[in-house]
Amino acid sequence: MMYNKKKDGAGNDVIDPFIREVCNLGNFLHVNNYKLDGTAYTDTIVEAVVADDIEVEQQLMCDGTNTFVRWFVYVKGNPTQNFVYDTTLAGEKYTPAGSVMVGDCQAGEGCETIVYSAVNGKQITSYRAKFCPGQDPVYYDKDNVEVDVSSISGTLVPASDVDVEKQIMCDGTNIFVRWFVYVTSDPSLNFSYDTTLEGLAYTPAGDVRVGECNAGGDGCETILYSAVNGKQITPYRVKFCPGQDPVYYDQNNAEVDVSSISGTLVPSGDVDVEKQIMCDGTNTFVRWFVYVASDPSLNFSYDTTLEGTAYTPAGAVTVGDCRSGDGCETILYSAVNGKQITPYRVKFCPGQDPVYYDQNNAEVDVSSISGTLVPSGDVDVEKQIMCDGSTTFIRWLVYVTSDPSLNFSYDTTLEGAAYTPAGDVRVGECTSGDCETILYSAVNGKQITPYRVKFCPGQDPVYYDKNNAEVDVSSISGTLVPSSDVDVEKQLGSLAT
């Protein structure tokens, strides 16, 4: 999967998805491009971008009259290709008519607006909820029309509580995608649904298993890596085959010598991007933090305007936009009580005790809250395909960064129903004779080193370093944990003066 970054008829940046097929026939590379429906893609390729190299962030904005959404499209491999575009709350193209500022146009003194999702079976509907001190919340639909909360179908949860994971599946004939929708604060609302690779609704016709229908064969596997060189990130695909040196391919699928690659190679999953609205005393701008989990020495940041162009702060920098306020800040928290997670809003004002609100905007006494309160951003969810000797199922791992003692897990079928394993559990699906390779990280103080670990039924795990060299587990320094267990969060503060 690739994207073609180009201009539309109005001169705006757009990304157009297509599929690139590269075949090596007689030592000649033959490249064919296809639309998602399988027909030929004939548009001129202006800038080809690897799909996994793109990250998207959104921010509510106001042009003095209307609230709209600004979408920041970040290209890890080449930040010069970054761009932004604006839409209405309903997703339609929008052109701001006045001076743009961060936040909701309807936010007044002491009020704040948070995006909520109404989960009703397999239907998720977005609403904005406006909270003002001493008043009931006011709800708006995607068209900015005020609606009565009693008319909203389903359960309202903060939109940040809804997470989506995908898994490639096979029903014996066709490859399809199973989407798992996870609701952190109420797992009873979790569901899954199936689509084709093009995103159309799909109903499996046979027995479902994990992975592609033609998986297997030469025992090779391909993993996406990134070369981090200062503030430049370049994507590569690395093919690992048993007993052979890794083979490296650039984004045009041309084989390259590893010695020609500038920078440090890390698994692409190790590179995370976060944005923070900042102020230099005059202008509001965006600071982008790029974090490399396996080697924090490679971390960097850079600044852009709200429109995405490069920016150099001119004064002392503070967190938040440049509009004056009451000095208060509201943060979403989660109360973790066993396997129950309940969302709260906590308002912090200088010199005052925090004030706690439930999802109905009712102020509650902190002593009445059951469980341990942690920032909602600390709660992360990962899925792992497992086997109990007869049935393939999913283990959901809920991890609380700030207090791992609160971590828990639970099991479901591939369809999302509750499941209790009946035998000895191992990682991977229940295909007989099948091996599985999982990325692990060795955490040694502040040093994180990536390894691939191959698990085969009835055999000891085999460990490989990033050069595909087999290593003895006893030679690995630190504690080995699945790489998916390593999460990164940022918290900005200020120094007292």
Judged against a pLDDT cut of 80, whether residue 341 lies above it is answered with yes
Residues 33-59, mean pLDDT to the nearest whole number: 68
Please report the pLDDT score of residue 278 as a whole number: 83
Q: Across residues 273-300, what is the average pLDDT?
A: 82
Is residue 439 scored above 50 in pLDDT? yes
Length of the chain: 497
Strands laid side by side in the 447-455 sheet: 470-471, 462-464, 447-455, 436-444, 479-482
pLDDT at 494 over 50: no
Question: How would residue 381 be classed by pLDDT, with cut points 50, 70 and 90?
Answer: confident
What's the pLDDT at 38? 57
Predicted confidence band of residue 19 (pLDDT cuts 50, 70, 90)? low
Structure tokens at 40: 């030929």
Round the average pLDDT of the chain to a whole number and report it: 77
- Which pLDDT value is given to residue 497? 39
Q: Report in angstroms the alpha-carbon separations of 307 from 89, 233, 287, 323.
A: 18, 22, 12, 18
Cβ atoms < 10 Å from Cβ of 254: 10
Q: What are phi and psi of 204, to 5 degrees?
A: -55, 140
DSSP letters for 307-364? TS-B----S--EES-SS---S-EEEEEEEEETTEEEEEEEEE-TTS--EEE-TTS-EE
Q: How far apart are CA 129 and CA 55, in angstroms?
A: 26
For the entire predicted model, the pTM comes to: 0.47
Residue 482 has pLDDT above 80, yes or no: no
Q: What percent of the chain has pLDDT over 70?
A: 80
- Residue 111 contacts residue 130 (beta carbons within 8 Å): yes
- The single residue listed with the structure tokens 């948070």 is 114
CB-count exposure of residue 69 (10 Å: 0-12, 13-18, 19+): middle
pLDDT at 432: 45
Residue with tokens 């909602």: 376
- Whether residue 400 contacts residue 182, with contact meaning beta carbons closer than 8 Å, is answered with no
Structure tokens at 157: 């949860």
Mention every residue, 6+ apart, whose C-beta is less than 8 A from residue 365.
356
- Distance of CA 49 to CAs 31, 80, 225, 258, Å? 15, 12, 15, 21
90-112 confidence digits (pLDDT tens): 667 888 887 777 776 665 556 77
Q: Among the listed ranges 163-177, 221-235, 482-496, which one has the minimum average pLDDT value?
A: 482-496
Q: What is the mean pLDDT of residues 61-68?
A: 78
Tell whether the model's pLDDT for residue 489 goes beyond 70.
no
The confidence band for 368, taking pLDDT boundaries of 50, 70 and 90, is: very high
Phi, psi of 229 (to 5 degrees): -130, 95
Q: Which residue carries 């695909």 as its tokens?
A: 237
